[in-house]
Structure 1
C-alpha cells in the first residue's frame, strides 16, 4: 500500500506574510495615536504623538481606501480618524496667496544646530534677508565668536545660556535694553528697542525637548511665561523661537490659543500662511511646525516664510511685520 507523501516544505521558509493582519495593526495604531494625542495635556508621551496630525491624515487616506476596496468594516474607523485629524489640521491648511506687502521691519529666526561649526552659511543667510533683528538658537561660545563679521551691521548683540550646550544670540541694528530678571529666572530674552522711530519689544526662549516628565513640565512653564509676558507687554511685541511644540498639541492650544480673561489675545504669525513645517528638515514627510512667532495687538504679520538652512535640522523663519495702527 502506498503512503501519501506530504508536500515538501522549503527549508527555512517562515509563515506567509499576512498583509491584512499588518494593516489591521496599523489601523488600531492610527486610532490610538489619534485619540491618545488628545490627552497630551496630561502626560508627555501622549503629547509626543499629538504632533503628527497631517501624517495621520495621509495614513488614514490610504487605509480607508484599502478597507473600502476589500469591503471591510474598518473603513468606518479609518474614515473617522481621517475626519478628526482633518478637523484638527484645518485651521492651518489654508494659505493666502502671497502678496508683495510693505513691511516696517523684519526679524529672522534660525536654529543653527549646536554641532554645526560652519557659520559662513548663517552669515550668508542673514546677509541675504537683511533683517532688523535676528535670533539664533543652539549657538555655542565658539560659533558666537565666529559671527564677528556681523558686528559691523549688527553692533548690538546679547546672548544667554538656554539649555545643555545651547545658547541664544540676538543681534540688532539698533540699541536695546534687556529685562535681566527674565534672563535670571526663566532663561528668557525680553528686550526693547526702537525701530524706525517706534518702540517695540522682542521675546525669545528655547525650552527643552519634552522627552522626560520634568522637561515636559519645564517647557510648559517657560511657554506659559512668555505667552503671558507678550500679552501683558504694552509695547508692540514679537514672541519668536523654537518652542519644541507643534500647533496640533493640546498644550499649544491651552497656552497660545485660549484667551485669558482681561488679557489681549496673541496672533500666530503663521496663521494664513499654511502649516509651514520647520523640523526635521532631513525628513520632509514627517516635518512639523515647531518654530513659532506670535504678536500682540501692536503688530500685524505681512509675511511668514520658512527658509532653507543648510547644516541645520530646522528651517529658518523670516517674519515681516507692520505696526498695527498702520495696517
Structure 2
C-alpha cells in the first residue's frame, strides 16, 4: 500500500516535470499495488465451508467464441467433476471440440444465444427441456433428477446492452428466467453470463425485487468475473442464483485461460 502511494506521488511529480517515461513507470507501480489491494478487499476468503457434501455442483464458463483450444475447459470440467456444465459463447466448432466430454456427460443440449454464440449444457443425468422457453427466449430450462430429487437448471446469455433494443431484449430475457426460476416448485438454479452487474438497478429490480431468488455469491465475497484482462475494471456479470429449494455451500471463480471471463463453480444442497 505504501509503495502504491509513493508511486502515485512520484507520478504527479514527474507529470509536473514532464518526464513521460518515469510517469509511465510510476503509474504501472500504482496499478500493480491497486490490483493487490483490490483483490484483498473484494476477494476475501468468504464464509467458511460447511461440513456437508454438496447435493449438486454446477460449473459455468463463458469460453470466448474466438478460442480454438478447448483443452483448458475440458481439463477443468474433468477436474471439478460437476453434475452439470454450462458453456457459453460456444460455436459449432467448439461443440465438436468438447465432444470428448460425452462419455461422462452423455446428456447434452444447446441453443443459439446471439451472433455466432451458442449455449451448451452437459449433464450426467437424463433431463427434459422446456421447448417453449427455448423458442420464446433462447434459454435452456431443463428438469432432471439428481440424487433422488427433482431439480431444474436454467441458463441464459443475453446480448451486451450496447443498443437500446439490446438493452430491452436483455431485460426481457432476464425477467423471464428470474420469474420462471422463482415459480418452480422444486429446487432450481439459474446460471449464466447475464451481462449485468449486481450494482445495476435492473439487477436489483429483476432478481431482488419481484422474484425471491438468492445470489449464490452473496456470502462469499465480491467475486468479479469480467474483464479478466483488466482487473481494475473487474465486475461480476456471471451469476448463479437459486430459488428457495437450494442452499449454497460454496461459490468460487476460476481462471479460464483463453477467455476474457473467469468461470464460476457453485455447490448446492437441497433444503
Same fold (TM over 0.5): yes
Say whether 1:124 aligns with 2:75: yes
Quick one: distance in 2 between partners of 1:125 and 1:117? 16
- Given that 2:49 and 2:249 are in contact with CA atoms closer than 8 Å, whether structure 1 keeps it comes out as no
Superposition deviation, residue 97 in structure 1: 3.5
From 250, 253, 259, the equivalent of 1:312 is 259
* 1:171-190 CA distance string (max 9 Å, x none): 00000000000000100110
In structure 2, do the counterparts of structure 1 residues 121 and 212 end up closer, same or farther at CA, with 3 Å as the change threshold? same
Q: Could you report, residue by residue, the CA deviation over 1:20-45 in whole angstroms, capped at 9, with x for unpaired residues? A: xxxxxxxxxxxxxxxxxxxxxxxxxx
Q: Does 1:239 align with 2:196?
A: no
Distance in 2, Cα, partners of 1:150 & 1:306: 21
Larger Rg: 1
Equivalent position of 2:10 in the other structure: none
Query: What are the ranges of 5 or more consecutive residues in structure 2 without an aligned counterpart?
Result: 1-14, 18-33, 35-40
Instruction: Find the aligned partners of 1:212 and 1:98 in 2 and give their Cα distance.
Output: 41
Q: CA deviation at 1:96?
A: 2.2
The equivalent residue for 2:166 is 215
| Partners of 1:100 and 1:280 in 2: CA distance | 33
**Whole-Å Cα distance in 2 between the matches of residues 312 and 230 of structure 1?**
28
- Structure 1: any 5+ residue segments left out of the alignment? 1-16, 20-57, 59-88
Secondary structure of the corresponding residue to residue 151 of structure 1: helix
Change (3 A) 1:221 1:93: farther
* TM-score normalised according to structure 2 size: 0.83
* Of 103, 113, 120, the match for 1:169: 120
TM-score (norm 1): 0.69
Structure 2 counterpart SS, 1:96: coil
1:235, 1:175 → 2: CA distance?
A: 17
Higher relative strand content: 2
In the other structure, the counterpart of 2:142 is 191
Equivalent position SS for 1:216:
helix
- Paired residues, number: 237
For residues 201-255 of structure 1, give each alpha carbon's deviation from its aligned partner in whole angstroms, at most 9, with x where no partner exists. Answer: 0000000001111100000000000000001111100000000000100111100
* 3-state SS of 2:176 partner: helix
Question: Which among 244, 247, 250 is matched to residue 201 of structure 2?
Answer: 250
Q: 2:53 aligns with which of 102, 116, 129?
A: 102
Quote the offset at 1:101 in angstroms. 4.0
